[in-house]
Amino acid sequence: MQSTPLTIFAALTCATLAPSLATAGVVFSDTFSDSDRAGWFNSSGVSNTATVADGALTVTSGRHVLAYFADTTLSSVGDTLTLAFDVSVLNPLNAGSGFRVGFFDKNGSTAVSADGVNTGFGNYLGYTAALNLVPPGSPVIFRQRDNPGNTALITTNTNYTQLGSAGGPVASFVSGTTYRFIYTLEKTGADALSIGVSVTGGAFGETYQHSVPDESGIVSLLNSFAISSTTTTATSFTLDNVSVTFTPVPEPSSFAAWSGVAVLGLVASRRRRR
């Protein structure tokens, strides 16, 4: 097929716009079907505290696992970053703030490259959600890591500011039940975001949401996440079907450009028919 000037223009325009959309979609995914946990780093240096078997990653309680993904920025209102995974526990997990997840920016620090690192995270910034799995209290507590200094990552609250909590019934993780956990950050303003947690399975069926106005500037660049059980009431927790998805809101200029390409394509098509 011969290329008309309009066809060439449309192709060049698409190529120009493509990079701005290339970061959308799944930025991290692991189903452990290859029996490998490459890219996952356990805070313990003992090899049997994080193992892959039967297509899932099992981690000894009291430890965290950490993974990295490409730098992802929540730059526009409506941009979202979502961590989703299946989780189950061996023995009931029923402790205050007993299960935690967080998105982080390593903030200039060198990425972890081996197991056994449970300190050295002093520069990391980000947000966590902690499930309170035993009454009384709110079922989810949201915190911001905004005070670099303490070198532990997610097993301490020392360098965190509590942002708020979400109400609802308090439940526990029951041994042998698989839960679906979804953790989302959404930019809602120039210096504001919303943190959401959805837990389904067993006695859970709730979505917890908390809006975070941050006058000092939100943490909008993220490149890592961590998952932890901070208690030993459960012997271990098991993860599967883990994904991180970035959903940006297209810029108005992108809409306009694509509309222009569509119009030009339509004009070219009509001219050829004549």
Count of the separate structural domains present in the chain:
1
- The Cα–Cα gap between 214 and 216 comes to 5
Radius of gyration of the chain (CA): 22
Do 89 and 254 meet the contact criterion of CB atoms below 8 Å apart?
no
Answer yes or no: is 227 within a domain: yes
Note the pLDDT of residue 165. Answer: 85
Note the pLDDT of residue 234. Answer: 75
Answer yes or no: is 101 within a domain: yes
Copy the structure tokens of residue 136: 């009384």
Note the pLDDT of residue 81. Answer: 98
Answer yes or no: is 274 within a domain: no
Task: Return per-residue pLDDT of the chain as tens, 274 residues.
Answer: 434 433 333 333 333 333 333 368 999 999 999 999 999 999 876 766 899 999 999 998 778 899 999 999 999 999 999 999 999 998 877 776 789 999 999 999 999 999 888 777 889 999 999 988 777 677 888 999 987 676 788 888 888 888 888 877 778 888 889 999 999 999 999 889 999 999 999 888 877 877 776 666 789 999 999 999 877 677 889 999 999 999 999 865 544 444 444 444 444 445 555 5
- The Cα–Cα gap between 142 and 197 comes to 10
Note the pLDDT of residue 208. Answer: 81
- The Cα–Cα gap between 206 and 257 comes to 40
Give the DSSP per-residue string, 203-221.
TEEEEEEEEEE-TT----E
Residue 216: which domain range?
24-269
- The Cα–Cα gap between 36 and 56 comes to 9
Answer yes or no: is 12 within a domain: no
Answer yes or no: is 67 within a domain: yes
DSSP state of 43: S
Answer yes or no: is 110 within a domain: yes
Helix (H, G, I), strand (E, B) or coil at 33: coil
Q: CA nearest 58: which of 88, 103, 28? A: 88
Helix (H, G, I), strand (E, B) or coil at 260: helix
CATH code of the domain in which 205 resides? 2.60.120.200
Note the pLDDT of residue 216. Answer: 63
Answer yes or no: is 18 within a domain: no
Answer yes or no: is 3 within a domain: no
Do 31 and 85 meet the contact criterion of CB atoms below 8 Å apart?
no
Note the pLDDT of residue 84. Answer: 98
- Is the CA virtual torsion 98, 194, 73, 182 positive or negative? positive
